[in-house]
Amino acid sequence: MAMTRWNATLAARNLAELATSRGGEMERPFLACDDGRSFSFAQFWALAGRLAFALQSAGAKPGDRIAVQVEKSPEAIALFWACVRGGYIFLPLNTAYTAAEVTYFVGDAEPSVLVVTPQRKESLASVAAGVKATVLTLDDVGGGTLVEGATREVADHPSTWEDLAAILYTSGTTGRSKGAMLSHGNLASNALALVEAWAFTPQDVLIHALPVYHTHGLFTATNTLLLSGGRILFRRKFDADDVMRLMPGATCLMGVPTFYTRLLQHEGLTRAATAHMRLFISGSAPLLAETHRAFSACTGHAILERYGMTETSMNTSNPYAGERRAGTVGFPLPHISVRVADPASHAALPAETDGMIEVKGPNVFKGYWRNPQKTAEDFTGDGWFITGDMGRISADGYVTISGRAKDLVITGGFNVYPKEVELLIDAMPGVLESAVFGVPHPDFGEAVTAAVVAKPGAVLDETAMIATLRQHLAAFKCPKRIIVLQELPRNAMGKVQKAVLRERWKGK
């Protein structure tokens, strides 16, 4: 592979070599878990090597896919590193997927090994047999047939930066979900970029309360700490009381916006309680500017918001040193280029103009698994990845996301960017948050519709709200209807599921 700028100075030839050559002492403490177990980096690395042996014994060959649907545990993370060490391709699946959904992924990916919770073993036996995969089990406290077979370490496979380390299926809110192929180079370059951009050192202690079947918890949080030599407080789930208790011994929290809204509801959240923390990072879904401001007022910490996706890992980040601007996702990370382009012609657009966000860099995935057509559709002729996110870049370089292109509402031939309407609604008294979406309309094609959640105790008046919006927005952008909900439908990463709203309110 041609030396690229990001790896020009590295002696390591793959992710496993990088992990052992960086971040200091092998004996350093690495993972402390809420089940009482802890692992030094050397112990974690040895565990990964033994799990690689168990996979090999189950019939896996380098280049094979290892599909994994297990609860969060240190072994679940070590299993990814087992794949890195053994030359296998890690394929994590959301624990919420039903057996029927797993059947699709297994049929598409044809793994040679399927690792599941003991409870799932029976229901997936015939699916695994259909693709001749061996089924192994892993529970959330380190038991199961996978670990029983992990009796000795294997020698590392000599993978290259171009070899695949993982396939992550996208959440697929429209149509079938697609497998994003991520190479050793993709993941290494991004982790190194984040260590640099966020100034991680061996002194860092991260509170890890994210799921590990998704890029955020699996790669962004874990790899950054692993390559910086820092330590992880590994929690099986997010709990505000638990996070508050950990803060005096931690330096960083990486979370989805919901973590921060929950922490803001915690009466213990003060300057003193967060004094030991160095950095609060948010991503995977938009952080409301109001949450940013409220957190800052309460703790003195400006949350650092960043933007990424399964296909690219992280693309942009607000600065570590410098203004962390609420409502924006900051600047491109080191070695990554970001542009806003005309969605039809892909010509770059000037600053302050809305368009399609496109990305180029060593972080960008190798394409969709067994789907060359979709891969070709999502790249421009000159190699930019078309993210599907709409946004703009300010004159001083900050990127703002206005939403997914497929969430754009087209009404009477006019484009309405939901974010523009949502920001106005969110600023109204009594409104906690909102989601603007389109529903089919016989005259306009789509009608702008808003779902809103009231602040505790507030009463919202639909007619008065629409009248206020009229004073600020062209008539075609104003919601025809405002629906008050108890809460917005969200997935596990905190993303508002607009497809669910569209489906629920169509024709009503």
φ, ψ (nearest 5 deg) of residue 376: -60, -40
Residue 241 half-sphere exposure toward CB, CA atoms < 13 A: 0
Using CB under 6 A as the binding rule, whether residue 171 contacts ligand AMP is answered as: yes
Residue with tokens 């002696």: 11
Least distance (Å) between residue 400 CB and ligand AMP: 9
Of 159, 190, 215, 274, the one binding ligand AMP (CB under 6 A) is 215
The structure tokens listed for 361 are 């860099």
Give the single-character DSSP code of 153: P
Q: Is 389 in the site for ligand AMP (CB under 6 A)?
A: yes
Tokens found for residue 452? 């809103």
Give the shortest CB-215-to-ligand AMP separation in angstroms.
5
- 358 contacts ligand AMP (rule: CB under 6 A): no
The residue among 286 and 332 lying less far from ligand AMP, judged by its C-beta, is 286
> 304: which DSSP letter?
E
What is the DSSP-derived secondary structure letter of residue 96?
Answer: T
Number of residues in contact with ligand AMP under rule CB under 6 A: 18
Beta carbon of residue 221, minimum distance to ligand AMP (angstroms, whole number)? 13
DSSP labels, 395-447? TTS-EEEEEEGGG-EEETTEEE-HHHHHHHHHTSTTEEEEEEEEEEETTTEEE
Task: State which residue, 243 or 493, has the beta carbon closest to ligand AMP.
Answer: 493
| C-beta neighbour count of 352 within 10 angstroms | 11
x/- string (CB under 6 A) for ligand AMP, residues 180-199?
Answer: --------------------
Residue 284 in the binding site for ligand AMP (CB under 6 A)? yes
Query: How is the beta sheet containing 337-341 ordered, strand by strand?
Result: 337-341, 355-360, 385-393, 399-404
The encoded tokens of residue 417 equal 């960017």
Choosing from 46, 285, 473, 492, the residue that interacts with ligand AMP (CB under 6 A) is 285
- Using CB under 6 A as the binding rule, whether residue 363 contacts ligand AMP is answered as no
CA distance 267 to 240: 10
Q: Which of 115, 147, 401, 431 binds ligand AMP (CB under 6 A)?
A: 401
Least separation in angstroms between residue 274's CB and ligand AMP is 21
> Which C-beta is closer to ligand AMP: that of 49 or that of 367?
367
> Exactly one of 87, 144, 217, 283 binds ligand AMP (CB under 6 A); which one?
283
Q: Is 41 in the site for ligand AMP (CB under 6 A)?
A: no
Q: Does 336 bind ligand AMP (CB under 6 A)?
A: no
Binding mask 404-443 for ligand AMP (x = CB under 6 A): x---------------------------------------
Q: Provide the minimum distance between the beta carbon of 306 and ligand AMP in the complex, in angstroms, as a whole number.
A: 6
**CB closer to ligand AMP out of 41 and 365:** 365
- In the complex, the smallest distance separating the C-beta of residue 401 from ligand AMP, rounded to whole angstroms, is 4
| Centroid of chain to Cα 108 | 22
At 38 the three-state DSSP class reads: strand
Structure tokens at 332: 């491109």
Helix, strand or coil, per DSSP, at residue 449: strand
Q: Mask: binding to ligand AMP, 293-332, rule CB under 6 A, as x and -?
A: ------------x-xxxx------------------x---
Q: Which of residues 456-495 bind ligand AMP (CB under 6 A)?
A: 493
% helix, strand, coil for the chain, step of 5: 30, 25, 40
Instruction: Compute the distance between CA of residue 300 and CA of residue 274 in angstroms, rounded to an integer.
Output: 9
Q: How far is the CB of 284 from ligand AMP (least distance, A)?
A: 5
Assess 170 for contact with ligand AMP (CB under 6 A).
Answer: yes
At a CB cut-off of 8 Å and minimum separation 6, what does 421 contact? 434, 436, 448, 450, 469, 473, 477, 478, 479
Q: Which residues, including other chains, have CB under 8 Å from residue 139's CB and lie 6 or more apart?
A: 70, 71, 73, 117, 118
Taking the complex as a whole, the smallest distance from the CB of residue 82 to ligand AMP amounts, in Å, to 24
**71 touches ligand AMP by CB under 6 A:** no
Residue 39 makes contact with ligand AMP by CB under 6 A: no
CB 75 within 8 A of CB 146: yes
Contacts with ligand AMP, residue ranges (CB under 6 A): 170-171, 215, 283-286, 305, 307-310, 329, 387, 389, 401, 404, 493
